[in-house]
Amino acid sequence: MPPSSPTSPSSSSVGRRAVLGAAAAAVPVLAGVSTPARAAGTSRVSPSALPGGGDLGPNVLVFDPSTPGIQAKLDQVFRQQESAQFGTGRYALFFKPGTYNGLNAQIGFYTSIAGLGLSPDDTTINGDVTVDAGWFNGNATQNFWRSAENLALVPANGTNRWAVAQAAPFRRMHVRGGLNLAPSGYGWASGGYLADSRIDGQVGPYSQQQWYTRDSVIGSWLNGVWNMVFSGVQGAPAQSFPNPPYTTLDTTPVSREKPFLYVSGSEFRVFLPEKRTNARGVTWGNGTPRGTSLPLSQFYVAKPGVSAATLNQALAQGLHLLLTPGIYHVDQPIQVNRAGTVVLGLGYATLVPDNGTTVLKVADVDGVRLAGFLVDAGPVNSATLLEVGPAGASADHSANPTTVQDVFVRIGGAGAGKATTSMVINSRHTIVDHTWVWRADHGTGVGWETNRADYGIVVNGDDVLCTGLFVEHFNKYDVQWNGQRGRTIFFQNEKAYDAPNQAAIQNGSVKGYAAYKVGDNVTVHEGWGLGSYCYYNVAPSIVQHHGFAAPNRPGVKFHDLLVVSLGGNGQYEHVINETGSPTSGTSTTPSTVVAYP
């Protein structure tokens, strides 16, 4: 039998340190494969105005069942992207509705694969959408930045393999069989996120250290290592943390699925799923999903090289933004001021700030949807990279919240980068649904001061909900939560590996900054299934007082907390505040707290 836990005391930490593979050249335009993705009704506008709609560019490949040589084209993209962890290639692979036979779509870095139907069952692949770790000797802990959405799969051998780490969502998928989340050989794995999906058979995480599943249907779930969290999942295992380490919520308090591209006749449109409260199960199980849609003609279709001024002109005109795959440099913030604006990235479109600017700012308005892009810090320090709402935002957005989904942040790794705070959430009722905010521990431009980044996410707004929160390696607090009535369902954290000594992390009289800090003035807060790991490999004698810090009052509640020392490189004295046993030795055995206070 395969192991149900990692076979070595090391974990995601050790696996991520190596830098493998240089950036490859861009895949050439694949003649006969990339269907011109032009909206049927491109807007008619005055010469001075920017047009809506348009071609999606050479790195969006659109297939239909009659396209010749699909497997060869998939293999060509994968050969380039398989090990290009910090490369410049960005690709979106789209499949029009229909049936495709005998495919194995291997998905590498910065590659997204998706169906173009309204339901996953509109687009069936008799075959697999595969992530494995052959490029990294069977270690899946660096399989970042890739995604699968809106497809039905009939796996060739009955089980599809999706062995990923952070920033690799599996959304809106129907697997007519099982799903294996571990690499071949059951090596280390550190993911992951699954939402709005139906897995008819068994989900086998095997060596996955942690996983979050939301609003889905599964046949069964095999095992757990440290932290498996479920909300709104039919077929989820019963609550049993810490043994097995299952945290199970019957429903998700509020959710609204990510916007997605689809085809209607000859026209591309973007579907906007509606908000659900106390959600359970998939959104698409009974035919057409509930929500609204927009024609591509209402989007400014951005290409790499466009200026921030042009993006802001498009937004001021009332257009939404569709960011086609590539890398964009912005020298001023992208200003989202209009309620209901959609900013949707394809193929891990990447935004890089120049001269220390903030990349994107959202006004205190209803219903903005940010989805599907990567923010990569620049070499000049940015005070912030992404701001949802201005300081002091106070409007009630409960009826139509802003959502931040599959929006990822990276500080260093692809080159020198700095930012004091990565993401600031000021607007009330914001939903952050799956993010990975990462101060790099490997790659280029990495060092305690080289890619300095003090705070990952700061939440000032009230009534904010995070579902699937991954924040790692910041110099001070990874998460600092100042707003009232905040909620987090699933949190995964590693403290910064590279602290040079105990003094470097000293927080006044406290040893180290908590991974997740609830502000002293907060009276109501709740979290479920939160984990923090330390791997102080530069100075293994470092002691971290606790992983979590919060006011000790009845309205501030935590369920199912854990801290882990990876291989004994650093230790925790407590789990939360002064509660919870210390970690010790090299066994990587979690110290847990089931309920606090």
Return the closest-CA partner of residue 490 out of 171, 232, 285, 139: 232
- Are the C-beta atoms of residues 170 and 190 closer than 8 Å to each other? no
Beta bridge partners of 548: 516, 576
DSSP track, 442-465: SSBS-STTTT---EEEEE-STT-E
Closest CA to 471 of 547, 404, 409: 409
> Helix, strand, or coil here: 75?
helix
How many whole angstroms separate alpha carbon 109 and alpha carbon 83? Answer: 7
Q: Are strands 275-279 and 260-264 parallel, antiparallel or unpaired?
A: unpaired
**553: number of Cβ within 10 Å:** 12
Tokens of 170: 């599996």
573 an active-site residue? no
Burial grade of 109 (CB within 10 A; 0-12, 13-18, 19 or more): buried
Classify residue 246 by burial, with Cβ atoms within 10 Å: 0-12, 13-18, 19+: buried
Residue type present at position 351: L
Are the C-beta atoms of 276 and 253 separated by less than 8 Å?
no
Burial 425-439 (b: 16+ CB within 10 A, else e): bbbbbbbbbbbbbbb
DSSP 400: S
Token pair for 54? 């348009």
Q: How far apart are CA 363 and CA 562, in angstroms?
A: 36
List residues bridging with 62 in a β-sheet. Answer: 94
Give the number of other Cβ atoms within 10 Å of residue 68's Cβ: 9
Catalytic hit among 149, 387, 472, 494:
494
**Positions marked catalytic:** 494
